[in-house]
Amino acid sequence: MSKSLQAIRGMNDILPEQTPLWRYFEGTVARLLDNYGYKQIRMPIVEFTELFKRSIGEVTDIVEKEMYTFEDRNGDSLTLRPEGTAACVRAVLEHGITGGGQVQKLWYIGPMFRHERPQKGRYRQFHQIGLEVFNLDGPDIDAELIIMTWRLWGELGIRDAVKLELNSLGTSESRGRYREALVEYLSAHHDKLDEDSQRRLKTNPLRVLDTKNADTQAVLVDAPKMADYLDDESRAHFEGLKARLDAVGIPYVLNPKLVRGLDYYSKTVFEWVTDKLGAQGTVCAGGRYDGLVEQMGGKPTTGVGFAMGIERLVLMLETLEQIPEEISRQVDVYLCAFGEHAELAGLALAERVRDQLPNLRLQVNAGAGSFKSQFKKADKSGALYALILGDDEMAQQVVGFKPLRGQGEQQSIAWDALAAHLATCVVQG
């Protein structure tokens, strides 16, 4: 196929055989968020470029080199959103729904765009479910976010394969003091740092902490520790969070080098990581961003949130073979009709059944065909039962009811009794 007729590198089609697993995952998360009292918000996919520069930070990887930015026909600089927090903050400010200390517990789902090097678990269009809470500043809500994800891993059957890493970045004041100490220390070891870290030392020194370079990592062993610079408030907040995780029995690892790639975090930061996906091991990441709303022109409004990568989590369900059997079956009942007369009766009968059983997944054969070919299609559809309408059935106003999986003889069911009969033998999702 000519190149222009292929999908853009790093942007994937999600094919029909994959969508059941996506929908199962998304449905599980949506139900959980509903149950915890979170409300969905939907923001546009494109925003003014300035929004991301102001919120994510000019010298972050995302803004420096990963954004899909273009000029539209008016000459405005627009960007395909690389993440959801910025747009969510913009939306709550624009609509005044966090004013006067109003609490908002929001979530969103959708595609994000980053021009990164595509590889397994890392794409240029990927999907996140994200969540943001405004105007709750205690560690109890930070704990709730983590508890909720812990429950999600349990429901999905992947709890044993993920690990929680936790850190506190402190308030902007304490982070400022720490940054100074870190810069002083790293500057004294400037020559031993890799090139990227030397550059970051000037632009975004905290990011040096999560370098992958072994020499720089060796230098970091004796570097000042963030924990020693936390102010009392941040320390108490962090202790409060840990106490709540302990109370629920959620294990965590303290990772003093966890700083996250975005500029706006303060106090709590966390990541759920796995060793099942190779290098792209973070499946969910987030933290607190108490200064962000003000930085974006709003009144002081605290915030905390996270985002999870749907591709990575779906990949994990596949890798760990945690795919519920029910989701692969998409048809309960398949109706075969032979001859024009039976086909018309079949259509009407199917609609009557659907009236009574709106959740039944009933597929009516299309394209006519011989007994053999229709039966083959019924079997291939994955249906549990075939319904058969031929000349004999038409004459008696019954339908043949044939189990397709496992034992059971074919029976005849009167048209009027069909819905009631199906209700007893098909568990409806």
Work out whether 303 is an interface residue with ligand ATP (CB under 6 A).
no
Based on C-alpha coordinates, what's the Rg of the chain?
28
Other C-beta atoms lying within 10 Å of the C-beta of residue 309: 23
Q: What amino acid is encoded at 18 in this protein?
A: Q
Least distance in angstroms from the C-beta of 294 to ligand ATP = 21
C-alpha 355: how far from chain center? 35
Work out whether 319 is an interface residue with ligand ATP (CB under 6 A).
no
Sole window of 154-162, 174-182, 189-197, 283-291 interacting with ligand ATP (rule: CB under 6 A): 283-291
Sole window of 180-188, 288-296, 304-312, 326-334 interacting with ligand ATP (rule: CB under 6 A): 304-312
Work out whether 312 is an interface residue with ligand ATP (CB under 6 A).
yes
Q: Are strands 282-288 and 266-274 parallel, antiparallel or unpaired?
A: antiparallel
Work out whether 263 is an interface residue with ligand ATP (CB under 6 A).
no
Q: Which of residues 111-140 bind ligand ATP (CB under 6 A)?
A: 114, 116, 121-123, 126, 128
Q: Which residues fall within 8 angstroms of residue 130, CB to CB, at 6 or more apart?
A: 83, 84, 85, 88, 107, 108, 109, 305, 306, 307, 308
Work out whether 166 is an interface residue with ligand ATP (CB under 6 A).
no
Work out whether 282 is an interface residue with ligand ATP (CB under 6 A).
yes
Burial class (CB in 10 A: 0-12, 13-18, 19+), 338: buried
Other C-beta atoms lying within 10 Å of the C-beta of residue 134: 25
Q: What's the rounded Cα separation, in Å, for the pair 277 and 279?
A: 6
What is the total count of residues that contact ligand ATP (CB under 6 A)? 19
Work out whether 109 is an interface residue with ligand ATP (CB under 6 A).
no
Work out whether 81 is an interface residue with ligand ATP (CB under 6 A).
no
Q: What amino acid is encoded at 150 in this protein?
A: W
Q: What's the rounded Cα separation, in Å, for the pair 144 and 129?
A: 16
Least distance in angstroms from the C-beta of 346 to ligand ATP = 46
Residue 226 · residue 168 · CB < 8 Å: yes
Indicate which single residue of 86, 109, 186, 285 sits in contact with ligand ATP (rule: CB under 6 A): 285
Angle at 387 between CA 386 and CA 391, to 5 degrees: 130
Residue 106 · residue 38 · CB < 8 Å: yes
**Closest residue (Cβ) to ligand ATP?**
309
Q: What's the rounded Cα separation, in Å, for the pair 314 and 311?
A: 5
386: enclosing H helix or E strand: strand 385-389
Of residues 282 and 295, the one with the C-beta less far from ligand ATP = 282
Of residues 7 and 427, the one with the C-beta less far from ligand ATP = 7
Least distance in angstroms from the C-beta of 427 to ligand ATP = 34
Work out whether 311 is an interface residue with ligand ATP (CB under 6 A).
yes
Least distance in angstroms from the C-beta of 124 to ligand ATP = 7
Sole window of 132-140, 280-288, 341-349, 415-423 interacting with ligand ATP (rule: CB under 6 A): 280-288
Tokens of 146: 């983590």
Indicate which single residue of 92, 307, 342, 384 sits in contact with ligand ATP (rule: CB under 6 A): 307
Binding site for ligand ATP (CB under 6 A): 83, 114, 116, 121-123, 126, 128, 261, 280, 282-285, 307-309, 311-312
